Amino acid sequence: MKIEIAESLIYSYLKHNEGCRFVQTNWMTSGKWVITEYEKERARLLFNKISNSNSFTGIFKNSSFEQLIKQAEIDILGINTTENTIYGIDIAFHSAGLNYGSKEETAFRIIKKIFRTIFIMQTFFNEYEKFNSYFVTPKVNPSTKKLIDELMVKAREVVNDDFITIKFISNEQFYSKIVDPLIQNTDDEHDTAELFSRAVKLLKLDNRKEKIKTISPNNQKKSKNLDNKREINGMKIGQFVQYSFRKAYEQGLISESEINKLQNPDYSKRIFDSNFEILRNKNRDIKDENGRNRYYSREIFCGNYYLTSQWFEKQWDFLLNWVNKIGFKYNDTTS
């Protein structure tokens, strides 16, 4: 069986850096799966929105929505169950640099792959809310990268959805955002099935005095990119929210008065920048106008309420200000 080192790299990255508890390489659909029109609806609407935009007219050429998701395949698929988030990553490892023909053809092919991965995830993982579609490559010509980056800006404007994140990661960013953080996080891991991690450990065994000091171009400086997801005690925002609400309530730090305020949409928006009230009575509907579940439905918080599951990186400071205000103590080990 052929082993792809680049796919092994992303497998380990999703597992150790993005907290995905399920990761699979070469993910493919089964012809036996039944997909309903309801499950396709969200992805189909996005497909039509993109197809009708001025920036991407004709990007799918003669391919219909059904053709795009038929026999779907994603290089590496990851699921972070605590954050209710899906990652779909395609990676291309070309020693001479990314090339699918002309730079225009290459750029549009990358954008099309990113869009298609969103459609696939929304269709086959319809119960999830947050989708991350990345295309990753270690090397691409600067002029081609410039064109792709310009198209990515337009793509984000067209998608315009806080629940969808799209990225093109290449060149220096490939090392600073993918390789370096992974190397820093795998010293204590011992899964022999992770080819890339094992290769890194092999190189680190080299104790020659004049050994090469860098495994990646940016190994000398600890990666601290703005795009890196913040963590506290190893927990990303969704997991930390659930943890802090459980513990704070157990410790008697969330008063009845505060619980009443947390059910108020205006208070929730002002204090947490949330588009949904933080707490909703368990007897009320927890879906929005589109029928999407916006609350953690498997657990009751603060005695009688569902806790909203809609949390984003931009809300960290709002959340921590509130946690500090009610007097909940936690050990902040954010890197």
* 259-288 residue pLDDT tens: 999 999 999 999 999 999 999 999 998 888
What pLDDT, on a 0 to 100 scale, did the predictor assign at position 308?
95
Banded model confidence at residue 97, pLDDT cuts 50, 70, 90? confident
| Residues 163, 236: Cα–Cα separation, whole Å | 16
> What strands lie across the sheet with 164-170, from one edge to the other?
22-28, 73-80, 85-91, 130-137, 164-170
Specify whether the CB–CB gap between 46 and 159 falls below 8 A.
yes
* Mean of per-residue pLDDT scores for the chain: 87
| Residues 290, 152: Cα–Cα separation, whole Å | 27
Specify whether the CB–CB gap between 293 and 307 falls below 8 A.
no
Least confident span in 73-77, 297-301, 328-332: 328-332
Residue 220: pLDDT above 70? no
Specify whether the CB–CB gap between 293 and 286 falls below 8 A.
yes
Residue 137: pLDDT above 70? yes
What value does the mean pLDDT take over residues 98-109? 90
What value does the mean pLDDT take over residues 3-27? 90
Residue 123: pLDDT above 70? yes
What pLDDT, on a 0 to 100 scale, did the predictor assign at position 334?
44
Q: What are phi and psi of 14, to 5 degrees?
A: -65, -40
> What strands lie across the sheet with 295-301, from one edge to the other?
279-281, 305-308, 295-301
Residue 238: pLDDT above 60? yes
What value does the mean pLDDT take over residues 5-23? 92
Residues in the chain: 335
Residue 325: pLDDT above 50? yes
Domain boundaries, the chain: 5-181, 237-325
What pLDDT, on a 0 to 100 scale, did the predictor assign at position 224?
43
Q: Which amino acid is at 127?
A: E
Q: Tens digit of pLDDT for each residue in 152-194? A: 999 999 999 999 999 999 999 999 999 988 887 766 666 666 7
In DSSP terms, which residues pair with 136 in a beta bridge? 91, 169
pTM comes to: 0.79
Burial class of 243 by CB neighbour count within 10 A (0 to 12, 13 to 18, 19+)? middle
Question: Three-state SS for 238?
Answer: helix
Residue 28: pLDDT above 90? yes
Question: Three-state SS for 251?
Answer: coil
